[in-house]
């Protein structure tokens, strides 16, 4: 394996702080000597097994010598070098001795573990099998770091020293440990930002309509319990608070600074904040990437990263945390406390959503307007909200994905315990243009977005209104156990609309059990209907409604109940809502209501919709999510730790011959797929009638002959496929006819034995420039394009993901014995799909792949045609390397 250069990146520490990891440079010599002088005698002894500084300074000289034979990484915090880790390869090249040195001030914050993670990955990528550390037995901290890294290790103790040998041949637990540590650091970083003890508003002015003044006023009116410091050189008193002419005049440390100055002054303010030790920055000022000033935005981020500050914005509304009474934003109306955590890339969307939420009674735990999303993003907030107790439901308005792969990993984990709702703009070409002009970030193609969100268990909604409708249901009600809905109400028309909407949304409205119907007849008036929907008629009282809802909730064939009430009939709106609230207290199933013409939340628990279609649409989304949690959201296959494999050799060899890439011949493509266990039908390449006949004798009859040639894509359309050939002579004759018909376009052929009768599917893949690999499953064969029955996902796939993809196909009943057909081996098809997904995920050089058809038979699944194109590609970011984007 070739030597890999170490990456340079910013990382988050356990306490939410920030460091920069990069390769050691020759110019670091002086900084390393200064580090040695700063460490305590105890640290010097534990690292170098000797007293005094001589050994430590010799160590620095060795590291910075141009002849140093190892690899070294350093960590920098706020411009100061605070750590170094290195390995030196042994004589065999298979093992390497590692060492690490940290400044005393940064020990205990996870920096040592981060350096070791990066060093281990670097060593593995460069062919090292084992790292060896010599540690004093009394150095418990270092032994704990090595033991908890997530890589297998063996210890041997002798004379007060411990030799720790860390295996790099595989990493079964490393990714889980990395994600756990990444989550802890990300959460701490955002908790610090959203729960500051002090806030400075830089640019707070006298004009009540000015952005800075509005931020200050919201902080004061929101009763923020910490210190608030307005900063303005031309004012003395604002909102009853003393104004400071500059940041350095503030007598206390500032945790959070909200910057509301003109764009041209923001960089100087950010530098002032860095010098003052401000921990986090919210830049509400506009005039950066969204108007083409990407270089200024990049410099702002660089200043923040170098100082260890998280950055929200620029071009944003600010942040709100109702749990800590923090309203560091200029939104017109502060949100009520509640259980929705919301992030928006658009300030206008955030304002509209909060206004509408206030009208329907939905409250927020947190609101973060990220604007241009230069630093803090949805990925960071998902890490925070995962463990945030007040947040029960997460909502995101997205215009772009900064790191789709990381979003998918985090969202999949969070979705197992908390629902995530996403409105993603840019579905249409015109929407993409609008988003690009606003955020300077291109919206991704919709099929990739859908694949990412659906595979991660995220509930994608079309509009902000739909987000609110669905959030109301999720915050107050349990998830439905299935898709069977009972409708109870007092007016036939709206109930019929509700039943129609259920059918359109894939929800069942089943007939109630005989016992439930009899129970309803025993108490309801004769004119009432006890079918499903249950119609009490306009005269039905609130008490009758309550009794009917309770009876239907008890039906074992019902998973959710929709109450449809049209005021002012029956007992009237208030008494009716009161009994709905009362029934909900003891209900164990999903209960929602449509009080025609009125949106809201009944009793703080039961979502109420103005129109039946609203409620049904929300229930459908929640039902799909509950189904995902019950099945598709299982654990993913292990991530691949760096190691050479036969597939790497095939790909490297092909690209060495044709650096620009090419379509592989069938035999090479099948060999590559075979290394991942993908079952391809036995195939023999032929170049004439005689060799075709010989091949037929080998594969057996009946045989299939397929023409090959660079221009032959849809072979069956041009007569390039002959099936049912019973003898070698038949195959030879078919070859002659085919060659005569196709002419020079036919350069050879493939001979296979005909597969058993089965269902033709297609498994395919493509590398998307923004999202990485996409894997596709569809109904295949000659009707693949006509049917357009396809499902996409982003790898890797769990067994549950593959099963979900199969069952989402409209024609999937064909695989399960439709109308007496034999059942296909669906499990074998799912295994093929999982293996293809892993192949695509491991090898970004596979630009296109079509297995069409893959025949799913009662006894297995086999690909009978393969097209695979290689193209040069950079390796994707490693899941094993923690880094801020």
Confidence of residue 633 (pLDDT cuts 50, 70, 90): low
Question: What is the pLDDT, as a whole number, of residue 823?
Answer: 95
**Top-confidence residue, 628 or 1:** 628
User: Which CATH number is 477-630's, of 3.30.750.24, 3.40.630.30, 3.40.50.261, 2.60.200.20?
Assistant: 3.40.50.261
> In CATH terms, is domain 685-753 a member of 3.30.830.10?
no
Mapped onto helix, strand or coil, the DSSP state of residue 749 is strand
| Class level of CATH domain 645-681+755-885 | alpha beta
DSSP single-letter state for residue 514: H
The whole model's pTM is what? 0.92
Question: What is the pLDDT, as a whole number, of residue 783?
Answer: 63
pLDDT digits (tens, 9 = 90+) for 390-447: 999 999 999 988 889 899 999 999 999 999 999 998 655 554 444 332 222 333 478 8
Q: Show Cβ contacts of residue 143 under 8 Å, excluding neighbours closer than 6 positions.
A: 135, 137, 162, 164
Question: What is the pLDDT, as a whole number, of residue 435?
Answer: 39
Kindly report the CATH number that applies to the domain delimited by 9-169: 3.40.630.30
Instruction: Please give the structure tokens belonging to residue 677.
Output: 């266990």
- Domain segments of the chain as ranges: 9-169, 189-457, 477-630, 645-681+755-885, 685-753
Confidence of residue 5 (pLDDT cuts 50, 70, 90): low
759 pairs with which residues across the strands? 856
- Work out the end-to-end distance of the chain between its first and last CA atoms, rounded to an integer number of angstroms: 27
Instruction: Please give the structure tokens belonging to residue 265.
Output: 């002054």
Mapped onto helix, strand or coil, the DSSP state of residue 792 is strand
Residue pair 654/870 in contact (Cβ under 8 Å)? The answer is yes
**Quick one: which H or E segment has residue 292?**
none
What's the CA dihedral at 99, 875, 794, 430 to 10 degrees?
120
Q: Do domains 477-630 and 685-753 have the same CATH topology?
A: no
Architecture of domain 189-457: 3-Layer(aba) Sandwich (3.40)
Q: How high does pLDDT run on average in the chain?
A: 92
- Residue length, the chain? 885
Percent of the chain with pLDDT over 90: 85
Question: What is the pLDDT, as a whole number, of residue 299?
Answer: 98
User: How many CB atoms are located within 10 Å of the residue 399 CB?
Assistant: 24
Distances (CA, A) of 303 to 7, 296, 297: 20, 11, 10
Q: Show Cβ contacts of residue 533 under 8 Å, excluding neighbours closer than 6 positions.
A: 486, 487, 488, 489, 492, 495, 496, 498, 499, 509, 564
The mean pLDDT value for 134-142 works out to 96
Strands 606-609 and 590-595: parallel
Question: What is the pLDDT, as a whole number, of residue 440?
Answer: 25
Q: Show Cβ contacts of residue 251 under 8 Å, excluding neighbours closer than 6 positions.
A: none
Question: What is the pLDDT, as a whole number, of residue 441?
Answer: 31
**Quick one: which H or E segment has residue 463?**
none
Confidence of residue 717 (pLDDT cuts 50, 70, 90): confident
């Amino acid at each position: 394996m070739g030597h890999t250069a170490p990456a340079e990146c910013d990382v988050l520490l356990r306490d939410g702080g920030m460091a920069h990891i990069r390769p050691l440079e020759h110019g670091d010599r002086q900084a390393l000597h200064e580090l040695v002088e700063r460490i305590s005698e105890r640290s010097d002894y534990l690292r170098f097994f000797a007293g005094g500084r001589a050994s430590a300074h010799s160590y620095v000289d060795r590291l910075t010598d141009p002849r140093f034979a190892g690899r070294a990484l350093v960590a920098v915090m706020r411009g100061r070098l605070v750590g170094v880790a290195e390995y030196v390869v042994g004589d065999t090249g298979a093992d390497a001795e590692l060492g690490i040195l940290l400044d005393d001030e940064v020990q205990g914050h996870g920096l040592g573990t981060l350096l070791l993670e990066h060093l281990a990955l670097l060593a593995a990528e460069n062919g090292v099998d084992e790292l060896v550390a010599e540690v004093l037995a009394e150095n418990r901290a270092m032994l704990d770091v090595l033991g908890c890294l997530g890589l297998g290790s063996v210890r041997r103790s002798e004379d007060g020293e411990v030799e720790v040998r860390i295996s790099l041949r595989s990493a079964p637990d490393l990714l889980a440990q990395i994600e756990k540590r990444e989550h802890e650091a990300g959460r701490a970083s955002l908790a610090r930002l959203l729960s500051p003890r002090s806030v400075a508003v830089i640019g707070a002015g006298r004009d009540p309509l000015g952005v800075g003044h509005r931020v200050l006023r919201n902080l004061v009116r929101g009763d923020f319990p910490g210190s608030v410091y307005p900063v303005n050189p031309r004012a003395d008193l604002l909102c009853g608070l003393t104004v400071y002419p500059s940041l350095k005049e503030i007598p206390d440390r500032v945790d959070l600074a909200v910057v509301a100055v003109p764009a041209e002054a923001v960089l100087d303010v950010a530098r002032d904040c860095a010098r003052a030790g401000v921990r986090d920055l919210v830049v509400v000022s506009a005039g950066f990437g969204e108007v083409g000033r990407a270089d200024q935005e990049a410099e702002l981020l660089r200043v923040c990263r170098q100082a260890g500050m998280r950055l929200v914005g620029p071009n944003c509304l600010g942040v709100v945390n109702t749990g800590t009474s923090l309203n560091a934003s200029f939104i017109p109306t502060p949100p009520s406390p509640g259980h929705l955590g919301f992030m928006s890339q658009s300030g206008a969307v955030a304002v509209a959503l909060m206004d509408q939420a206030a009208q329907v009674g939905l409250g927020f735990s947190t609101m973060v307007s990220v604007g241009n999303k230069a630093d803090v993003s949805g990925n960071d907030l998902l890490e925070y909200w995962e463990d945030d107790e007040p947040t029960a439901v997460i909502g995101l308005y997205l215009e772009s994905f900064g790191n789709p792969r990381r979003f998918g990993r985090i969202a999949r984990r969070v979705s197992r315990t908390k629902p995530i709702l996403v409105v993603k703009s840019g579905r249409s070409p015109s929407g993409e243009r609008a988003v690009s002009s606003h955020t300077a970030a291109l919206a991704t193609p919709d099929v990739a977005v859908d694949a990412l969100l659906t595979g991660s268990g995220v509930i994608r909604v079309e509009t902000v209104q739909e987000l609110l409708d669905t959030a109301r249901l999720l915050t107050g009600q349990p998830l439905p156990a299935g898709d069977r809905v009972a409708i109870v109400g007092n007016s036939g028309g709206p109930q019929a609309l509700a039943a129609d909407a259920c059918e359109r949304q894939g929800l069942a409205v089943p007939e109630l059990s005989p016992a439930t119907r009899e129970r309803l007849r025993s108490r309801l008036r004769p004119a009432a209907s006890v079918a499903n929907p249950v119609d009490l008629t306009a005269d039905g009282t609130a008490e009758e409604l309550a009794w009917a809802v309770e009876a239907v909730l008890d039906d074992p064939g019902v998973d959710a109940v929709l109450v449809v009430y049209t005021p002012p009939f029956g007992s009237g709106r208030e008494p009716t809502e009161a009994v709905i609230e009362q029934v909900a207290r003891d209900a164990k199933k999903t209960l929602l209501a449509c009080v025609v013409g009125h949106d809201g939340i009944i009793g703080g628990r039961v979502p109420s919709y103005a129109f039946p279609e609203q409620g049904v649409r929300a229930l459908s989304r929640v039902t799909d999510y509950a189904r995902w949690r019950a099945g598709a959201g299982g654990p993913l296959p292990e991530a691949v730790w760096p190691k050479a494999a036969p597939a790497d050799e095939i790909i490297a060899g092909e690209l060495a011959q044709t650096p620009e890439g090419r379509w592989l011949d069938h035999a090479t493509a099948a060999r590559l797929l075979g290394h991942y266990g993908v079952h391809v039908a036995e195939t023999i390449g032929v170049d004439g009638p005689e060799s075709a006949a010989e091949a037929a004798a080998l594969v057996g009859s009946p045989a299939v002959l397929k023409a090959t040639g660079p221009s032959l894509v849809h072979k069956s359309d041009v007569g390039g496929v002959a099936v049912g050939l019973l003898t070698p002579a038949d195959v030879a004759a078919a070859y002659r006819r085919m060659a005569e018909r196709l002419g020079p376009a036919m350069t050879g052929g493939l001979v296979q034995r005909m597969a058993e009768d089965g269902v033709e599917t297609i498994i395919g893949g493509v590398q998307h420039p923004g999202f990485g690999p996409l894997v596709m499953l569809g109904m295949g064969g000659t009707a693949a394009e006509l049917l357009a029955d396809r499902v996409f996902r982003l790898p890797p796939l769990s067994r549950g993901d593959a099963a979900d993809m199969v069952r989402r196909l409209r024609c999937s009943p064909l695989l399960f014995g439709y109308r007496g057909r034999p059942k296909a081996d669906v499990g074998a098809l799912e295994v093929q799909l999982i293996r293809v997904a892993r192949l695509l995920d491991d090898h970004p050089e596979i630009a296109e792949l079509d297995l069409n058809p893959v025949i799913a038979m009662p006894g297995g699944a086999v690909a009978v045609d393969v097209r695979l194109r290689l193209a040069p590609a950079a390796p994707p970011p490693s899941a094993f390397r923690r880094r801020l984007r």
